[in-house]
Amino acid sequence: MCRITYQRQRKEFTTGMMIKPGDWDSQHKKVNESSINFLLNTELELITQKLRKAYLTLQLREVPYSIEDILKLYRGEHSNIELGVMEAYAEHNAYNKKLIGKDLKIVSWQKFENTKVHVGGFIKWKYRKNDLPLAKLKFQFITDFEYYLKTQLNMQQSTINKTLQRFKKMIAFAVAQDYIDKSPFLMHKPKSVKKEVVYLTKEELDGLRTKLIENERLEAVRDCFVFCCYTGLAFREMASLQAEHVVKNRNGKNWLRMKRQKTGKTVSVPLLPQAQDILDKYEGIAQDKLLPVKTNAHFNAYLKEIAGLCNIKINLTHHIARKTFATTVLLHNDVPIEIVSKLLGHSRIGITQAHYGQILEDKVGEHMENLSRKIN
CATH, residue 89: 1.10.150
Residues 69 and 103 reside in one and the same domain: no
Same domain, 238 and 357: yes
Looking at 158, 176, 194, which one is the last position of a domain?
176
Same domain, 225 and 304: yes
User: Does 184 reside within a domain?
Assistant: no
Helix (H, G, I), strand (E, B) or coil at 369: helix
My answer on whether 45 and 93 are in the same domain is no
Q: Are residues 302 and 219 part of one domain?
A: yes
Q: Do 27 and 157 lie in a common domain?
A: no
Q: Are residues 46 and 98 in the same domain?
A: no
| Residue 187 within any structural domain of the chain | no
- Domain-located, residue 197: no
Q: Is 314 domain-assigned? A: yes
- 249 plus 337 within the same structural domain: yes
- pLDDT tens-place values along the chain, 376 residues long: 899 999 888 999 998 888 888 888 888 888 888 888 878 889 999 999 999 988 887 787 666 678 888 888 888 776 656 678 998 999 999 999 999 988 888 888 999 999 999 999 999 999 998 888 888 889 999 999 999 999 999 999 989 999 999 999 999 999 998 888 889 998 888 887 766 778 899 999 999 999 999 999 999 999 999 999 999 998 888 988 888 999 988 888 899 998 877 666 788 899 999 999 999 998 877 667 888 887 878 898 999 999 999 999 999 999 899 999 988 898 888 888 888 888 887 767 776 766 776 665 666 666 667 666 777 6
Residue 89 covered by a domain: yes
Size of the chain, expressed as the number of residues it contains = 376
Dihedral of CA atoms 138, 142, 143, 147 in degrees, nearest 10, equals 140
Q: Clarify whether residues 352 and 300 are in a common domain.
A: yes
323: domain CATH number is 1.10.443.10
Burial 3-21 (b: 16+ CB within 10 A, else e): ebebeeeeeeeeeeeeeee
Q: Given the DSSP bridges, would you call strands 246-248 and 30-31 parallel, antiparallel or unpaired? A: unpaired
| Distance, CA of 115 to CA of 113 (rounded, Å) | 5
Among the candidates 131, 160, 176, a domain finishes at 176
Using the 3D structure, point to which of 52, 75, 98 is the last residue of a domain.
75
3-state secondary structure of 188: coil
Residue 259 belongs to a domain: yes
Do the domain assignments include residue 326? yes
Instruction: Please check whether residue 355 lies inside any domain of the structure.
Output: yes
Q: Are residues 231 and 171 in the same domain?
A: no
Q: Which domain holds residue 329?
A: 202-375
| Co-location of 236 and 166 in the same domain | no
Q: How far apart are CA 180 and CA 175, in angstroms?
A: 5
* Residue 9, beta-bridge partner list: 6
Beta bridge partners of 184: none
What separation in angstroms does the CA of 252 have from each of 98, 122, 165, 290? Answer: 43, 58, 44, 20
Does 267 lie in the same domain as 337? yes
Domain count, the chain: 3
Answer whether 0.75 is exceeded by the pTM. no
